[in-house]
Amino acid sequence: MASSRSVIIIHQIILSGCSWMAPPPAGAGLVVVSLLLAAVASSAGAAKLKALTPGGRVVHHNHGKFTCGPWKAAHATFYGGRDGSGTTAGACGYKDTRAEGYGVQTVAVSPVLFGDGAACGGCYEVRCVDSPDGCKAGAVVVTATNLCPPNYQQSSDSGGWCNPPREHFDLSMPAFLQIAQEKAGIVPVSYRRVACAKQGGIRYTVTGNRYFNMVTVTNVGGAGDLAAVSVKGSKRVGWTELKRNWGQVWQTGEDLTGESLTFRVMTSDHRKATSWHVLPTGWQFGVTYQADKNF
């Protein structure tokens, strides 16, 4: 088993706390309308000045930290063993969530949430509700690392928990037991998207060969999920946008060997991070390289 190599290691903690917002004061609507009108006028004048990413997407300058989402209703079940066994790999392309910074506080989400892999790496705060005999106090923060597949042989309210259009969380057993009794089996929950707290920088692992590169991106903070990945070499390879192969595995047919590589990733909230020369000139397939920054 190849050992992971960190080019630069800078440990940092990215907080995932969310602020509770009080209702707006009377008259706030007029202020919001005024601000919106000013924003429209400003954006109209700057329409021709929109910057683009290497892949041609419009750059959204969303600075600051990830904004937590609203609370929504769903249900939760569990899978795997009490130690998290059977849950450390899956449809997101992660090989071992323990080694890749996700641990066993993970969840397989239903197809409606999974979005063909776009949800991979995103974090959710989940709490059990409306089940006095099944719920425990408190909440758990989990990372989406797998798909809970539909079961069309059973109805959505009797075994086919992950059938569309249900939003469902199949938690790892260690995560489920933090919010509910095992005997409950399935419980109603409230959930929301929250920021992912990660230690250290974003990690990149390239597999395949010089004619077909598969890049797995892990340990992503902030929104946690990825909407776009680009790569640039130090010599002949210009900015090249990668395509999602599956989950958080991205592909390109460019020959990336023989030069240092810089990656730029964009999360679902349009924030970006550039990992300059994170892979050295002599990088190797199958080795994990860690950047010095995260979200």
| Cross-strand bridge partners of residue 279 | 261
pLDDT tens figures, 235-261: 999 999 999 999 999 999 999 999 999
> Which residue did the predictor score with more confidence, 52 or 137?
137
At 61 the pLDDT is: 44
pLDDT tens figures, 91-130: 999 999 999 989 999 999 999 999 999 999 999 999 999 9
- Pull the structure tokens for residue 103: 């641990």
Indicate the pLDDT class of residue 58, thresholds 50, 70 and 90.
Answer: very low
The answer, yes or no, to whether residue 19 has pLDDT greater than 60, is: no
| Max CA separation in the chain (angstroms) | 63
Q: In this structure, what DSSP letter does residue 49 have? A: G
% of the chain at pLDDT higher than 70: 78
The answer, yes or no, to whether residue 14 has pLDDT greater than 70, is: no
pLDDT tens figures, 278-294: 999 999 999 999 999 99
CATH superfamily, domain at 72-194:
RlpA-like domain (2.40.40.10)
Which residues lie closer than 8 Å to 276 by C-beta, 6 or more apart? 262
At 105 the pLDDT is: 97
- Pull the structure tokens for residue 126: 């989940």
Indicate the pLDDT class of residue 56, thresholds 50, 70 and 90.
Answer: very low
Stretch (H or E) spanning 64: none
At 51 the pLDDT is: 39
Which residues lie closer than 8 Å to 47 by C-beta, 6 or more apart? none
Give the mean pLDDT of the chain.
84
> Which residue did the predictor score with more confidence, 23 or 266?
266
The mean per-residue pLDDT over the stretch 185-195 comes to 98
The answer, yes or no, to whether residue 25 has pLDDT greater than 50, is: no
**Reported pTM:** 0.79
CA distance 37 to 25: 20
At 32 the pLDDT is: 35
CATH T-level fold of 203-290: Immunoglobulin-like (2.60.40)
At 12 the pLDDT is: 28
The answer, yes or no, to whether residue 33 has pLDDT greater than 70, is: no
Indicate the pLDDT class of residue 65, thresholds 50, 70 and 90.
Answer: confident
- Pull the structure tokens for residue 244: 């999602």
Domain residue spans in the chain? Answer: 72-194, 203-290
**Pick from 283, 91, 120: which is nearest to 204 by CA?**
283
